[in-house]
A and B are shown apart, each in its own frame.
Chain A
Amino acid sequence: MSPRMSPRTRTQRALAVAAGVSATALVLSACSGGSDGEGGGGGGSDDPIVVGISLPLTGDFSEPGKGVQRGYEAWAQFVNEDGGLLGRQVELKILDDQSNADRVVQDYEALIAQDEVDLVFGPFSTRLVVPSARVAEEYGMLFVEPAGAAAEVFEQGFENLFYAAPAVADDHYNYLAEHILAMPEGERPQTVAVAAMDDPFAQGTAYGLRDKLADAGLEVVVDEVYPPNTTDFSSIAAKISDSGADMVIGGTQYQDAVNLIVALQQLNYQPALAAFSTAPTNPEFATAIGSKTEGILSPTGYTETASWPSNVDFVERYTALHGNPPGEDEANAFTTGQVVAAAVEAVGCAEQGECQQQLVDWLRNNEVDTVVGPLTWDETGKPQGAHLIQQYVDGEIQIVLPQDAQEADFVFPKPAW
């Protein structure tokens, strides 16, 4: 065994290193140089308008992520069927960010800087919206997003961001809070149990309701937070069951709501009121919890029976395309498309650069008619509307609040599950 490498090996090693490094650098520049041509920024008037989007098609948020994808694709299809945007066809370029915050940044960076897309739409989930909005902001792009509703999105100082839904997370449950507090003292629930995922949106909705109820004198007996990848809810359910709270609020996404409810069922805990965010709007929710959905409440920004003109058209065409009416995620995505399209048509351009600031300014000062109603925004991008409250009544999702949008009577107390 020689004490040091023979000179031959060393030379070969050095050569190998040099060769490897040069080769890699050459390959990299060649590869990227090649794909640079594809991007084709806003040039000819017959070029398709390319919209860049990153969505969680796999990972924690993949269920609603796919819903958003369907919504965007439906929008693109209907727009193209109707003659396109500014006379040009619309093309979507969708990348998968695997529900990862660092992936979403790289995706939007690639879409904007490398593929040179003309417009961008936002991703799904507040957690992913904040980092991706920053990328868009630093490239000067308009950023309309369908799903970042938590307060912190609007506290970052973004100037190009608009949320395409009626209300922010904190205000999702406003109508429900009002209704509960309007009940007579004897009938009203007295104690509340809260379990929320450590996610800005989920917590936003749950804590919005919790705080309004607590301010009015209800007692919060359980207040739990769990990380997003939690699947075992036995102990949280045990605590809630043991407390015997009249009402349970779940700040949830999808699977965690299912798991929590099953765990509560296993302990035979029967609340008078149960409100969960997001999950009950998913079509598979009912089977997942054994069809014991009666009386479960959820806030929703969208209902397919709403009579806004663009909504009637949307529901009809979407049902023809997919065989079932669109859900909230699809509608939020569609709304995003509508908002951007309105700005583009009004301003008359769709490309990177100066155009983006013009789009931003137009949206700041105008109202857009969408499938969730007319939308306007304040200077941080917050919308000015309110969410509806839906409930499972007789096995169907019905709007129960506010009174003027009501489709069925509010069910209280909740039947046993």
Chain B
Amino acid sequence: MPNASDTRPARRSAGGRASATLPDGAGALPAPVPPPARRPGGRVVRLAALVVGVVLVLAFPSMAPNAYILSAGIVVASYACTATAWNFMGGFTGYVSLGHAAFFGLGAYATGLLVRDLGLPSFVAWLVAGVIVLLVTIPVGIAALRVRGASFVIVSIAFVLILLLVFQAWGSFTGGSDGLVVPRPFPDLLRPEHHRVFFYLFAALLAVMLLAWWAIDRSRFGTGLKAVREDEDKAQALGVPTRNYKLVAYVVSATFTGLTGGMYALWFGDLDPIFQFSIMLGAYMVLMALLGGVRHLFGPLLGAVIVGTGLEYFKLEFGDTQFHLVATALLLGLVVLFMPDGIIPAGIALLKRFGPQDSSIREISAAELLERNRAAAGGPAAPGTGEDAAPRPRTGPDATPDDTEPSEDDR
């Protein structure tokens, strides 16, 4: 129902008439308000930024001065993939899973075992591993999504820990703590070339994930998920099929994480349960996504770049202390306490502090608004507003000081 505070431009009526009309008995629609002036070329800037980003990614292997930096870049790319995959669940539904490394490890081991034991070609094994992770996640998701909030976190941690135990204990099948050696997909490549190929493969996987995220973001499914994030009970009351939507999001997230794990297995070649099923990896995923901003498409990627390069640097320079744990802890604490929406909104807020401050929510003043609404309602009578049809303004040149009638603004 329209009211005096409406600043939205008038919509076209069902009959297609452009001017404001009056539905039966409702108040007057305000006259079309011209939308706030768009920054010219805003879209162009975004596209340009995207192109620059893509060019940088594609050129990175050539820019990297040596093979070690390239391999560090692959590690960062794999972090970006896992963080983005995590964000399908964490960002859309708000369910934080600290044990997401479970799917990473499952994908990695599934790929490794399929290649080693069944002799499948590497990338076929990779896809099949993704399917396996998908199938495994369905019953797990049904169980885990019965609870919410903190219990869900506990369940996710329990899941990764139990997988750690199983993969360590079942040595005959998984190699246990001896590790699993995954044969190279391209045995004839030199090591730097090997790194190069896999960098592009990871980048391609990331691109697919980003596309999927973008598609979900704009879809009805995505809106349903966001409703779950904002208030699950109300969403359910409104008819959003929350249980199914959550499960789908969880499975999608897990499958992408599993595919990343499988790719990692093919690249790295040596798996150990302690690293593939590690809570630290799960924590890094969460930290990266949170830092970059869970609601943004490129948030996890940004977080991964920042945290990933930081981690590599720390481990190389300060490897003989536990300093990198302290640094991760401080960063996570900082993000949680002061920047829970991510670094981009925090950064923007900080920048805004230095710019002109907005003094009110609206961009037109109350008096102007009132004028406009009155003009739009001016012709035919406005029954819904009754005796308030022509209120006297309380402020401005026409104001009557002793006017005690409540004006429309007070509603």
Residue tally, chain A, CB below 8 Å to B: 58
Report the minimum CB–CB distance from A19 to chain B (whole Å).
8
In the bound complex, do residue B179 and residue A101 qualify as a contact, i.e. CB atoms below 8 Å apart?
yes
Chain A residues, Cβ within 8 Å of B353: none
CB-based contact A152/B269 at 8 Å: no
A18 B178 Cβ-Cβ under 8 A: no
Complex Cα gap A399–B347 (Å): 68
Which of A91-99, A274-282, A296-304, A344-352 binds B? A91-99
Assess whether A306 is interfacial by the CB under 8 Å rule: no
Task: Take A10-B46, A227-B176 as given contacts and tell me if A130 and B181 are in contact as well, using a CB distance cutoff of 8 Å.
Answer: yes
Q: A32-B69, A110-B68 are in contact. Are A17 and B53 (CB under 8 A)?
A: yes
Flag A192-224 by CB within 8 Å of B: 1 or 0 each. 000001111000000000000000000000000
Docked-complex contact A10 and B66, CB < 8 angstroms: no
Q: Once bound together, how far apart are the Cα atoms of A127 and B60, in whole Å? A: 32
Pick from B46, B60, B179, B270: contact of A11, CB under 8 Å: B46
Contact assessment for A15 and B49 in the assembled complex, using a CB-CB cutoff below 8 Å: yes
Nearest residue in A to B269 (C-beta to C-beta)? A134
Question: Contact between B298 and A25 (Cβ–Cβ < 8 Å)?
Answer: no
Q: With A105-B268, A139-B191 known to touch, is A18 a contact of B39 (CB < 8 Å)?
A: no
Q: A152 to B177, alpha carbons, bound, how many Å?
A: 13
Mark B43-74 against chain A: 1 for CB-CB distance below 8 A, else 0.
00110111011001000100111111101110
Q: How far is the CA of A33 from the CA of B71 in the complex (A)?
A: 15
Q: Closest Cβ of chain A: how far from B176's Cβ, in Å?
A: 5
A25, B61: Cα distance in complex, Å: 11
Q: Which residues on the A side are within 8 Å of B146 (C-beta)?
A: none
Whether B66 and A18, one on each chain, are in contact in the complex, defined by CB atoms closer than 8 angstroms, is no
| Most chain A CB neighbours (cut-off 10 Å) among B56, B60, B65 | B65
Q: A20-B305, A57-B320, A109-B71 are in contact. Are A32 and B52 (CB under 8 A)?
A: no
Residues of chain B within 8 A of A112, CB atoms compared: 68
Contact (Cβ within 8 A) A101 B270: yes
Flag whether A12 is at the interface (Cβ < 8 A).
yes
Is A8 touching B68 in the complex (CB atoms < 8 A)?
no
B315, A152: Cβ atoms under 8 Å? no
B18 at the binding interface (Cβ < 8 Å): no
Number of A-B contacts (CB under 8 A): 151
A268 CB–B CB distance under 8 Å: no
Q: Name the distance in Å between A14's Cβ and chain B's nearest Cβ.
A: 4
Given contacts A22-B56, A138-B191, contact A225 B67 (CB under 8 A): no
How far apart are B15's CB and chain A's nearest CB, in angstroms?
Answer: 25
Q: Is the CB of B66 within 8 A of A32?
A: yes
Contact with B along A120-144 (1 / 0, CB 8 A): 0000000100110011001100000
B178 — which chain A residues lie within 8 A by C-beta?
127, 152, 198-200
- Check B319 against A96 for contact (C-beta < 8 Å): yes
Contact with A along B19-48 (1 / 0, CB 8 A): 000000000000000001011001001101
The residues of A that contact B315 with a CB separation of less than 8 Å are 103, 106
Contact A127/B46 with A29-B63, A105-B268 known, Cβ cut-off 8 Å = no
Bound CA span A18–B52, Å: 7
Task: Tell me, in angstroms, the Cα distance from A24 to B363 when the chains sit together.
Answer: 37
For residues 71 through 113 of chain B, which have their beta carbon under 8 Å from a beta carbon of chain A? 71-73, 75
**Contact: B348 with A113, CB < 8 Å?**
no
Q: Is the CB of A22 within 8 A of B305?
A: no
A127–B168 contact, CB under 8 A? no
**A405 interface contact, C-beta 8 A:** no
Say yes or no for B337: interface residue by CB 8 A criterion. no
Q: How far is the CB of A28 from chain B (nearest CB, A)?
A: 7
- Which chain A residues in 100-118 approach chain B with CB under 8 Å? 100-103, 105-107, 109-110, 112-114
Knowing that A7-B42, A16-B344, A113-B68 touch, tell me 8 more A-B residue pairs with CB under 8 angstroms.
A9-B348, A21-B52, A22-B52, A36-B65, A101-B275, A103-B319, A127-B178, A127-B272
- 7 nearest interchain CB pairs? A18-B49, A96-B320, A96-B319, A114-B68, A198-B177, A113-B67, A14-B46
Q: Which residues of A contact B (CB under 8 A)?
A: 6-18, 20-22, 24-25, 28-29, 32-33, 36, 57-58, 95-98, 100-103, 105-107, 109-110, 112-114, 127, 130-131, 134-135, 138-139, 152, 156, 197-200, 225, 227-229
